[in-house]
Amino acid sequence: MFADLSTAAALWGAVIFSGLYHGINPGMGWPLAVSAALMERKHSALGKALAMLALGHFLAMIGILLPFSMMIFLVEWEREIRIGAGCLVIAMGIYLLINRKHPKFLARVHPARLALWSFLAAMAHGAGLMLVPIFLGICAIDAQDTGHLAAQALMTSNVMTAFGVALVHTAAMIIAGGIIATVIYLWLGLKFLSRTWFNLDLVWALSLVVVGAFGVASAFIGH
């Protein structure tokens, strides 16, 4: 019982941590929010831009998690699906390690369409895939706690969990990115940003491999 609670806390902590990590990463869009606010010269523009980035990110997370939550056969094949999902995340990380170029189609999205840009950026960088092993681990714990429920009832629970994971993750993401964007917009400015630009592409790709390996390992261990 206590082991399940501690594992659940660790998994939800991973949801929050990954959100903070995504928010800090410039590749998820907070520099665009700073740019939009500076161009419009309005404080409100920063909040609007961050809201659009959050919306796009949330929709990307749901777009990835929802199909997994609606798998009725997740009840019987939960371990195999978790292993497969973990391997998929590892493969995405390896691909990003080999292909270090940013997706060209993102440059074609108009800067004003921040929600669309955020959605496509999260998809292209595998941000949603990173959550899949964590999400499946949470679903497995919920299934153990509720006993032998009907598949339909369990699927409904998993759908709600998917929305919860996406919401908590996105909230953490936009809080982290929003704090950085606000500090740069109000005090530091774009000149500071151009001088101190940091690139997390390598760390991002490696983190996908680590999260995927964690998902596979936890599936074998049984958590």
Contact call for residues 55 and 118 (beta carbons, < 8 A): yes
Instruction: Give the three-class secondary structure for 82.
Output: helix
Instruction: Give the three-class secondary structure for 70.
Output: coil
Q: ∠23-27-30 over CA atoms, to 5°? A: 55
Q: ∠57-61-63 over CA atoms, to 5°? A: 115
If one counts the domains in the chain, the total is: 1
- The pLDDT profile of the chain, 223 residues, written as one tens digit per residue, is 445 677 788 889 999 999 999 998 888 888 888 888 888 888 889 999 999 999 999 999 999 998 888 765 555 676 777 788 889 999 988 988 887 666 665 666 666 688 998 999 898 888 888 898 888 888 876 655 444 444 555 667 788 999 999 999 999 999 999 999 999 898 886 666 666 555 667 778 888 888 889 888 887 776 5
Q: Write a three-state SS string for 100-117.
A: CCCCHHHHHCCCCCHHHH
CA 122, distance to chain mean position in Å, is 7
Total residues found in the chain within this entry: 223
Q: Which of 35, 72, 89 is nearest to 214 (CA)?
A: 89
Q: ∠42-104-131 over CA atoms, to 5°? A: 80
- Print the domain residue range for 42: 2-221
User: Can you tell me the distance from the alpha carbon of 136 to that of 88, in angstroms, rounded to the nearest whole number?
Assistant: 13
Q: What is the pLDDT of residues 16-34, one digit of tens each?
A: 999 999 998 888 888 888 8
Contact call for residues 178 and 50 (beta carbons, < 8 A): yes
